Amino acid sequence: MTEIRPGNGNGHAVPLGLLTPSHWAALTGRWSFDSSVAVYDGPLDQQRPYGIALSELRLRDGLARVTISFENFADSQAAAGVVLGFHSESGRYLNPQLGGWGSAYSISQFVPGEGWRRIRSAGSITNLKPGRAYELEVRLAGQRTVILVDGIQIFEEILADPLLGNQVGLYAWGSQKVTFENLQVSNVPPRAFVAMPFEEPFNTMYREVIRPEAEELGLHVVRVDELARPGIIFEDIKREISDSKVVIAEITAPNQNVFYELGYAHALNKPTILLAQRGRELPFDIHSYRVIFYDDTIGGKPEVERNLAKHLKSVLQDS
């Protein structure tokens, strides 16, 4: 499987295992489905002038792509795209799309109690042509979201919060007919970033506990000293944290780099799992966070393995 890293210049590198939907559920709007084609025929009423259709496909990290064509642009607010991170109609989810807010390309998020909040937009909708097929592709890595149209990168955005769900669907706004073809989804292993001092006994903890437990659950583990590129700086570290699904931090020692990385993860509302040796005094700011305490002994290893696995499973189940 070829790994997708959004924004790293790898063009159309695509992992094996592209999935296509077999089943659809129309939540709002008038829809018809036939094999690889889904057609939005307009809203059911003006109270909800949009359509949402969900597939059985799931996406954590990887890509989703679909071909979209509009019958017309009589509605200047016309939009069509994909739904990502869906878990309920009243929860937060993401809409990378063509159109929206009179623009050619946009990315928005549905926020309960507010409706759709624009994150970014670009271009004029007048540059989109009715009847023309556009390929919309979205690449996800943690909170990094990259939008491409016909292979051209339009946006690269770090989301302020992780996506809560992982269901994939389609979205359209307005009264115009929209045809969606060949929705495809491909997942790659989500990433776990490990923040810790690069010395003993923490290296042993990493080799014998953290890495094996995370990989057992299908996570791709990243520790800065193992990155195969020169000149690692804080921008690279921030990118790795942004691209990760979870951050695991060993905070026994008062290490400035570890706490910088942990602070950046907290700023992104990233799920974090904290580890510390039992009996050590922790900084005041950490007291409100749940910490997995462990004994640095042979007998303490099974306990920390169980607790770490339990916390990682909880993170993966919630995303």
CATH number at residue 103: 2.60.120.560
Nearest Cα to 4, choosing from 185, 161, 152, 167? 185
Are both 261 and 162 inside the same structural domain? no
Q: 183 and 206, same structural domain? A: no
Query: Is 264 a member of any domain?
Result: yes
Flag whether 246 is in a domain: yes
Residues 33 and 139 placed together within one structural domain of the fold: yes
pLDDT digits (tens, 9 = 90+) for 37-73: 999 999 998 889 999 999 999 999 999 999 999 999 8
Q: Which pLDDT belongs to residue 230? A: 65
Q: Is residue 19 part of a domain?
A: no
Biggest CA-to-CA distance, the chain = 70
Query: What is the pTM assigned to this prediction?
Result: 0.88
Q: What is the pLDDT of residues 95-107, one digit of tens each?
A: 999 999 999 999 9
Is residue 195 pLDDT above 70, yes or no? Answer: yes
Whether 109 and 135 map to the same domain: the answer is yes
68 within a domain of the structure (yes/no): yes
| Domain range enclosing 118 | 24-187
166 with 203, same domain: the answer is no
Strand order in 272-277's β-sheet? 220-223, 191-195, 246-250, 272-277, 291-294
Give yes or no: residues 64 and 121 share one domain: yes
Choose one of 187, 206, 233: the last residue of a domain. 187
Question: Domain check: are 230 and 158 in the same one?
Answer: no
- How many Å apart are CA 161 and CA 164, to the nearest integer? 9
Whether 6 is in a domain gets the answer no
- Asked if 135 and 37 sit in the same domain, the reply is yes
pLDDT in tens, 152-184: 999 999 999 999 899 999 999 999 999 999 999
Whether residue 266 sits in one domain with residue 207: yes
Task: Answer whether residue 301 is part of any domain.
Answer: yes
Judge whether residue 18 has pLDDT over 60.
yes
Which of 165, 187, 209 delimits the end of a domain? 187
Q: Decide if 222 contacts 240 (C-beta within 8 A).
A: yes
